[in-house]
Structure 1
Amino acid sequence: MKRFVPNALTLLNLFCGSIAVIFAVNNEFVTASVFVFLGIFFDFFDGFAARKLNVQSALGIQLDSLADMVTSGVVPGIIMFKMLHLAVGLPDGVTDWDSASSSFHFNLPVLPLAGLGITLASAYRLAKFNLDEDQQSYFKGLPTPANTLLIVSLPLIIEFQHSDLMNSMIINPWFLLGLTALSCYLLNSNITLFALKFKDWSFKNNVTRYSFIILSLIFLVLFQFAAIPLIIGTYIIMSVLDTVTSK
């Protein structure tokens, strides 16, 4: 019976991601973000449960990636599409059921579709991860959940930070396109990033992990949702420094 526990958590990740898609499509980014956070929470603990219960399986690995594809692939792509749509000042194009179903229409703006590059890059990254047996204690490229947190933070910063400077920067098509390109690169780069997996709890053997967690908590207290991009940037920088100093 215990072998079903990790898969149940993975399916909860997929369930939350599917709900997040619905809310993101309807421009309800805050609610979508809540379900993304829940999905990532379940994503973290399905692997933890599988290791603790010693029930890791090939099925669980594939199911985990399929769930991540929705929560950490489709959702950030939709959110970036919507953000670009807003940045270029296009109407949202709401139609009633009769006009929407009576004939075939394709009136999607071209530029915002670039945001879906994040979805494509996430799919490619997850497929590579499934074939790479070396990524146990580290990641090669930015993990999809971390990238999703980066993208999801954008509408949350606008909603809750109330900073004209940050808002004007975020609602800028060039910034969003640049972030999309950076996101796609980081997902599939060869940068080695440490994983938050503890073999033991000693500070000496986990100084990078503990330092990162402490810095992240400080950033969250000081900057709220604006801390998320800082945390992702810090994660990358500390990982690069850790790789350089360990050689």
Structure 2
Amino acid sequence: MKRYIPNALTLLNLFCGCIAVIFAVNNNFVASALFVFLGIFFDFFDGFAARKLNVQSELGVQLDSLADMITSGLVPGIVMFKLIELTQLTWVDNFYKTDSTNLLLEIGGGSFLPFLGLTITLASAYRLAKFNIDIEQQAYFKGLPTPANTLLIVSLPLIMEFQNSDLINSIILNQWFLIGLTVFSCWILNSKIKLFALKFKTWSFKDNAARYIFILLCIVLLIVLKFAAIPLIILLYIMMSILDNLTSK
């Protein structure tokens, strides 16, 4: 019976991802983010449960990637699509015409540019496929994990909703900022930068100094900056990993 527990948690991740997609498509970014957070929660504990119960399986590995493809691949692509679309709100002539070009323009807010956001989904799929065949990525990651990248993307509408800063909102809704972030996201997902994993083999501070310091800084940033802390946390994670790589050499 216990061998089904990790896969059940993975399926809950997938279920949350499907709901998040529906909310994102309907511009309810807060509800979408909530289900993304739940999905990532289940994603963390399915692997934890598999290790603790000693029931790791190839099926679980493949199922985990398929679930991540929705929660941490499709959702951020849709959210970025919607954000770029907000910067492209123009009236589309022949609104009710059914030819494919006008339909695409109608979907994209009068521009093809929002479809660039879906490259995040493509980059996530490529990253997950590489992860499945890379036996080195056990103690560390190569490139930013898809859940971390998803948190970065879905945090943007949350910052706009809850931070109440005209300056921050104007930055987030700048099309060049969103295009740059999309390009950066696709690159960092598949970069060769080694990033430490939040997996503890022991609880000693000496062996996990970077992890403990990172977690402590995350808590402080979240308390002080709330949702605006999430992009900073992702940048902090990347910078601390690079520093950890340099010091270990």
The two structures have a TM-score, normalised by structure 2, of: 0.94
Separation in 2 of the partners of 1:113 and 1:119?
Answer: 11
The structural deviation recorded for 1:89 is 2.4
Separation in 2 of the partners of 1:174 and 1:165?
Answer: 15
Tell me which residue corresponds to 2:64. Answer: 64
Residue ranges of structure 2 left out of the alignment (5+ in a row) = 106-110
Separation in 2 of the partners of 1:55 and 1:132?
Answer: 21
Matches within 5 A, 1:1-247: 1-90=1-90, 105=100, 106-108=103-105, 109-247=111-249
The structural deviation recorded for 1:107 is 2.6
Separation in 2 of the partners of 1:6 and 1:70?
Answer: 18
Separation in 2 of the partners of 1:104 and 1:218?
Answer: 52
Separation in 1 of the partners of 2:216 and 2:175?
Answer: 34
> 1:74–1:203: structure 2 CA closer, same or farther, 3 Å change rule?
same
Separation in 1 of the partners of 2:86 and 2:24?
Answer: 13
Separation in 2 of the partners of 1:49 and 1:139?
Answer: 20
| Residue-by-residue CA offset, 1:181-223 (whole Å, 9 max, x unaligned) | 0000000000000000000111111100000000000000110
Paired amino acid for 1:43: D
Separation in 2 of the partners of 1:38 and 1:87?
Answer: 29
Query: What's the Cα RMSD here?
Result: 1.6
> 1:165–1:201: structure 2 CA closer, same or farther, 3 Å change rule?
same
Separation in 2 of the partners of 1:246 and 1:82?
Answer: 41
Secondary structure at 2:51's aligned position in 1?
helix
The structural deviation recorded for 1:87 is 1.4
Residue ranges of structure 1 left out of the alignment (5+ in a row) = none
The structural deviation recorded for 1:91 is 6.0
Separation in 2 of the partners of 1:155 and 1:183?
Answer: 16
The structural deviation recorded for 1:90 is 3.7
Secondary structure at 1:107's aligned position in 2?
helix
Paired amino acid for 2:35: F
| Residue-by-residue CA offset, 1:17-76 (whole Å, 9 max, x unaligned) | 000000000000000000000000000000000000000000000000000000000000
Paired amino acid for 1:31: A
The structural deviation recorded for 1:104 is 5.6
The structural deviation recorded for 1:88 is 2.1
Structure 1 stretches of 4+ with a deviation exceeding 3 A read 90-93
Separation in 2 of the partners of 1:7 and 1:104?
Answer: 43
What percentage of aligned pairs have identical amino acids? 70
Q: How many correspondences in the alignment?
A: 241
Separation in 2 of the partners of 1:132 and 1:61?
Answer: 12
